[in-house]
Amino acid sequence: MRKLSDTIARLAALKAAQRQVSHRAPRNRLKDMELTGANPGALKASTFVPDNLASGRPLVVALHGCTQSAAAYDEGSGWSDLADRYRFALLFPEQQRSNNANLCFNWFEPEDAKRDAGEALSIREMIETMVATHGLDRDRIFIVGLSAGGAMASVMLAIYPDVFAGGAIIAGLPFGSASSMPEAFDRMRGHGGPGELRLQKLVRDASPWRGKWPAISVWHGTADNVVDISNMEAIVRQWAGLHGVKISDYVSETEQGFLRKVWHGADGRECIESYTIPGMGHGTPLAAAGPDSYGKVGPFMLESGVSSTLRIATFWGLADAAHDRRGTETASQEYVHRGEILVPGALTDKLQEEGTGRRFGTKNAHAAGIQKTIEDALRAAGLIK
C-alpha cells in the first residue's frame, strides 16, 4: 500500500495556512432544516428559500468540502445571493464530526455511497422534504459539491440519476473510484482506480435508471495538490460514455486564461462541460470582484477571475452569465475538436428547453481581470489575498 503521509501532510499544511486567512464566523443566511424523513447518515441540513418564492421553482443541493460548514460554503460560493437573484431554493446537507472528524462526506464508504442507504439516503430524504414543503419542480433539481462534497455529488448523480437534471463536481472524484479510506487517498493523489469502461459500468449498475442522464459540469485547478487533476478527466470519461459522446468530440473556448470544453449529445444539447483553471489550487473558483462576482475569498474559496457558481447555474439554465451584472462581454477563442483535428467553430448563444422544463445552453461570460503576477503563486498554495 502506498504511504499516505505526503497527502496528509499537504492537507494539514493547507488547513493551517488557510486558518490565517480568516478567523471570523461566516455570514449565515441559512435556516436549520427540521428533518422529517429517514436520516441513516446522521447528517444535519440547512436551507435558503427566497422570500415569497413561487411554487414550481428549481432546487439546488450544495455539498460543502472537508473542514467547512454549510454557512461557510454558502458565503464563499455565493449560492444564496444567486438564488435570491434568480429565484430558486437551496438545500445544504451538512456533515457532523461524529461521522467524520474532518467534516468530510463519506463518499468512499460503501454503506454511505449506495442507493437508499447511509448518507446518500439522508440527502435524498432531505430533497424530498424540500420539494414537498415548497412545491418545487421535480424536473429541475441540481446538485453541486466541492472536494469531498464534489465526490459525494458524483455519488448522488450516479445512484439517483432519476432525481437530478444536472450536477457539478468541483475538485472532486468520479463515482466508484474508491471503497475505503486508503483507496480514497490514493485516488486523490491520482494513483490507480477503475478504468474508463469500469467507471461507466459502475454508474449503470448503481440504479435501475435507463432514461436521460444528468448534465455534468466539472471544474479543477491545475495546481491542485490535494485532489489530482487527473480526476477531472476520469469524471468526464465516466459520463461521456453514459451520454454516448466521444471524448475527442468537444467544443472549446479559452477566456481570461481558463479553458472550457463542452460536449453535445445526439440532440445537440450540452451534456458535459469542463473548466480547467490554470494555476489554481484546491478550492472553488470565484470572481469575488467584477461584473459577475459572487462569493467571498476564504479557505478553499479561491479568486480565479471566473465565478463557478454563476457559470454552473447558467449551464443548468437557472441564470444568465452573459447579462448578469451589467458588465461588458468579451470575445473568446472557440474551436471544434473532431478526432485529432482542431478547427475554428462557433457556439450558439441561446437556451434550449425540453418539455420537462430542463434548460441547458451555452452563454458567453463576462471578463474579470486576473492579477497574474501576484495571484498565481498564491493559487499554487490554494490561497489568495
Instruction: For the chain, give every domain's residue range.
Output: 5-380
Q: Which residue has the higher pLDDT, 13 or 281?
A: 281
Average pLDDT over residues 138-164: 98
Looking at residue 37, the DSSP 8-state letter turns out to be S
Cell readout for 367 is 471578463
Average pLDDT over residues 292-313: 94
Q: ∠347-348-349 over CA atoms, to 5°?
A: 115
| pLDDT over 90 (residue 181) | yes
Looking at residue 244, the DSSP 8-state letter turns out to be T
* Helix, strand or coil, per DSSP, at residue 343: strand
**Per-residue pLDDT, 309:** 97
**Per-residue pLDDT, 171:** 98
What is d(CA 219, CA 338) in angstroms, rounded to the nearest whole number?
23
Average pLDDT over residues 366-370: 33
Q: What percent of the chain has pLDDT over 90?
A: 72
**Per-residue pLDDT, 7:** 52
Confidence of residue 288 (pLDDT cuts 50, 70, 90): confident
Q: Which residue has the higher pLDDT, 374 or 137?
A: 137
| pLDDT over 80 (residue 32) | yes
**Per-residue pLDDT, 354:** 35
**Per-residue pLDDT, 365:** 33
What is d(CA 303, CA 229) in angstroms, rounded to the nearest whole number?
18
Q: How many CB atoms lie within 10 A of CB 19?
A: 11
Residue-wise pLDDT tens digits, 197-218: 999 999 999 999 999 999 999 9
Going through the chain in order, the beta strands assigned E by DSSP cover 31-32, 44-48, 59-63, 89-94, 141-146, 166-170, 215-221, 251-255, 258-264, 270-277, 284-286, 301-303, 333-338, 341-344, 351-353, 359-361
Confidence of residue 325 (pLDDT cuts 50, 70, 90): low
Residue whose cell numbers read 452569465: 321
* Amino acid symbol at 149: G
Rounded alpha-carbon distances, angstroms, from residue 125 to 43, 130, 150, 245, 324: 11, 9, 19, 32, 33
Average pLDDT over residues 265-284: 97
| pLDDT over 50 (residue 18) | no
Contact predicate 39/63, CB 8 Å: no
| pLDDT over 70 (residue 382) | no
**Per-residue pLDDT, 120:** 98
- Examine the residue annotation and report whether 147 is marked as an active-site residue of this protein: yes
Q: ∠169-166-95 over CA atoms, to 5°?
A: 50
CA 187 to chain centre: 18
| pLDDT over 50 (residue 313) | yes
Dihedrals phi, psi of 127, to nearest 5 degrees: -60, -45
Catalytic residue among 69, 147, 177, 304: 147
DSSP for 299-315? TTEEE-SS-HHHHHHHH
pTM exceeds 0.85, yes or no = no
| 3-class secondary structure per residue, 104-160 | CCCCCCHHHCCCCCHHHHHHHHHHHHHHHHHCCCCCCEEEEEECHHHHHHHHHHHHC
Selection from 210, 229, 196, 260 nearest residue 175 by Cα: 196
* Amino acid symbol at 321: A
**Per-residue pLDDT, 307:** 95
Residue-wise pLDDT tens digits, 224-266: 999 999 999 999 999 999 999 999 999 999 988 899 999 999 9
What is d(CA 124, CA 154) in angstroms, rounded to the nearest whole number?
14
Taking domain 5-380, whether its CATH number is 3.40.50.300 is answered by no
Confidence of residue 321 (pLDDT cuts 50, 70, 90): confident
Residue 116, by phi and psi: left (phi above 0), alpha (psi -120 to 50) or beta? left
Q: What is the largest CA-CA distance in the chain?
A: 55
Residue-wise pLDDT tens digits, 111-137: 999 999 999 999 999 999 999 999 999
| From 17-26, 90-99, 278-287, the region with the lowest mean pLDDT | 17-26
